[in-house]
Amino acid sequence: MKTQLALLAPAQVESECLAVVVLDEGEADKPQPKVQTTDRAVLDSVQEVISAREINGKIFETVMVHRPVGLKAKRLLLIGGGKAQDFSSYELRKLAGTAARFLKPKGVRSFAFLAPPLSSGAANAVKAIAEGAYVGNFDPDTYKSDRKDQSLLEMTVVAAEPAGRAELETALERGRIVGESQNFTRELVNEPANRMTPRILAERAQQVAREVGLQCEVFGPDKMRELKMGAFLSVAQGSEEEPRLILLRYEPADAPEKPVLGLVGKGITFDTGGISIKPSEGMEKMKYDMAGGAVMLGVMRAIALLKPELRMVGVICATENMPSGKAQKPGDVQIAMSGKSIEVINTDAEGRLILADGLYWARQLGATHLVDAATLTGAVVVALGYINAGVFSNNDAIYNRFEQAEKRAGEKMWRMPLDSEYMEQLKSTIADMTNVGGRPGGAVTAAMFLKEFVGETPWIHLDIAGTAWMEDNKAWIAKGPSGIAVRSIVEFATDLAGGKA
């Protein structure tokens, strides 16, 4: 989708449709809708709609006005943004996605979106609109034989302020890059497991690295054995598909030697559970178990284009988890790259095994800060539902910086505990630790397992099992992969770089 900026009066914008936000400025039981513009022509053209209370400003309300008088746009789309006092870039992203999803099936291929005033500034509004529109423009129906591509081809973000064009253009470009990278992540996660094997995921990593200028190396089982990645290899041994260890590097010439941000992603391209096999119902969704790895590919793509002055390494551990005569068995003991011995109680707790070696290797590669992302536990869904991702950290200062980045990115996450007492649940009588700690606090004990492999390195762990896949169609996003965490990690990396991007 082509994106452009227009510094024009809204009435002068030529487009198939102009989208305008309507906020409720009234009390709880007395809605008072107000169109977010001072343009007289726009206000006059919607006066009857507002007077008739066809729209009250309720979040995601949509009303189309055809042939609006006094406007060069062919249509005017009013979108409710909720209560004015609660309105922020978080809601604005969703409204831009709502506009895209509302207009696409109506045959509209280009539209304009009027940036409403935000307390965080016009640049933030422009960026949020671009990000949200790209998210709304994605559809997962890739393999339908009768698929009709309804994608929007062009979007214009209208900012009525004549000043600050350079800042707004930069914000728009940043929003485009991040939105495209989030959709790139979603494309990878959407692929079925027969079309997204570890080998294919590695090829996609190499392809995107060539396109954006990243360094990329891909390794097979021989390298993993050389590195003594016994935990990773134990998961891979049950599959006919060879595992892949993917390494991406971003090393700008002007960046200081430190910090070095290490990104580690879980890339289980299909998870049957192994010998501890999952129930058949819903297993088809387990193609999404590589979402953490896809997130890190999306982040590295965005970083290469945004060019912050920060050194980064990306590690994606890609394999299938399959049952076979070669698969590891409950009770097996595996030796991780760090030298720790692990009693595998449940082979369906495989993500933490591959991440253990991935996190340790990222430290060996020089990472001074670590972020991992994984669809790690069903327990995080029990704890937080499908709204918030779980965040764990061993360092309060780094967590506080990440929290601010996540809020700027407009993604919902909630910090979970890492109290030392939880390690009691991971005690083994035969090895250093078990790979599961029972049902109580399952998301926490999984994070505690990973914590054993990061040492004192400041670390953020994102359990995105409940948020990496949208269970239903929403006004602003299609059912299917969400691409969560791409925006937050990009914001965090930019912050570590001192904001230079």
CATH of residue 369: 3.40.630.10
Q: What confidence category does residue 500 fall into, taking pLDDT thresholds of 50, 70 and 90?
A: low
pLDDT score for 147: 86
The answer to whether the beta carbons of residues 492 and 371 sit under 8 Å apart is yes
**pLDDT tens for each residue of 255-264:** 999 999 999 9
| pLDDT surpasses 80 at 163 | no
**Mean pLDDT over residues 454-463, rounded?**
98
Q: Is residue 356 part of a domain?
A: yes
Three-state SS string across 148-169, please?
A: CCCCCCEEEEECCCCCCHHHHH
| pLDDT surpasses 60 at 188 | yes
Q: What is residue 467's three-state secondary structure?
A: coil
**pLDDT tens for each residue of 115-151:** 999 999 999 999 999 999 999 999 999 999 998 888 9
Q: Are residues 133 and 221 in the same domain?
A: no
**pLDDT tens for each residue of 382-424:** 999 999 999 999 999 999 999 999 999 999 999 999 999 999 9
Q: What confidence category does residue 501 fall into, taking pLDDT thresholds of 50, 70 and 90?
A: low
C-alpha–C-alpha distance, residues 361 and 122, integer Å: 42
Q: Which of 75, 244, 301, 352 is catalytic?
A: 352
Q: Is residue 168 part of a domain?
A: no
Q: Are residues 68 and 204 in the same domain?
A: no
| pLDDT surpasses 80 at 35 | yes
Q: Are residues 258 and 334 in the same domain?
A: yes
Q: Are residues 387 and 259 in the same domain?
A: yes
Q: What is residue 332's three-state secondary structure?
A: coil
Torsion angles phi and psi, residue 469, rounded to 5: -135, 125
Q: Are residues 287 and 345 in the same domain?
A: yes
Q: Would you call 352 a catalytic residue per the annotation?
A: yes
Give this prediction's pTM.
0.97
Q: Are residues 150 and 193 in the same domain?
A: no
pLDDT score for 162: 57
| % of the chain at pLDDT higher than 90 | 96
The answer to whether the beta carbons of residues 88 and 118 sit under 8 Å apart is yes
Q: Which of 34, 199, 278, 407 is catalytic?
A: 278
**Two tokens at 317?**
């551990």
Q: Are residues 216 and 320 in the same domain?
A: yes
**Mean pLDDT over residues 475-496, rounded?**
98
Q: Would you call 75 a catalytic residue per the annotation?
A: no
Strand locations in 376-491, DSSP E?
389-393, 413-415, 433-434, 459-463, 469-470, 480-481
Write down which residue in 160, 194, 221 finishes a domain.
160
DSSP letters, 237-292, are TT-SSPPEEEEEEE--TTS-S--EEEEEEEEEEEE--TTSPPPSTTGGGGGGGGHH
DSSP state of 345: S
Q: Are residues 121 and 192 in the same domain?
A: no
Q: Is residue 166 part of a domain?
A: no
Q: Are residues 249 and 145 in the same domain?
A: no
Q: Are residues 123 and 212 in the same domain?
A: no
Q: Are residues 190 and 153 in the same domain?
A: no
Q: Is residue 467 part of a domain?
A: yes
Average pLDDT, the chain: 96
Write down which residue in 104, 126, 160 finishes a domain.
160
61-68: list long-range contacts, CB under 8 Å, 24+ apart.
61/22, 62/98, 62/102, 64/17, 68/18, 68/42
- The total domain count for the chain is 2
Q: Is residue 247 part of a domain?
A: yes
Output the domain CATH number for residue 94.
3.40.220.10
Domain that holds residue 101: 2-160
Write down which residue in 127, 160, 193 finishes a domain.
160
Q: How many CB atoms lie within 10 A of CB 456?
A: 8
**Two tokens at 40?**
């007289």
Q: Is residue 171 part of a domain?
A: no
How far does CA 406 lie from the centroid of its chain?
11
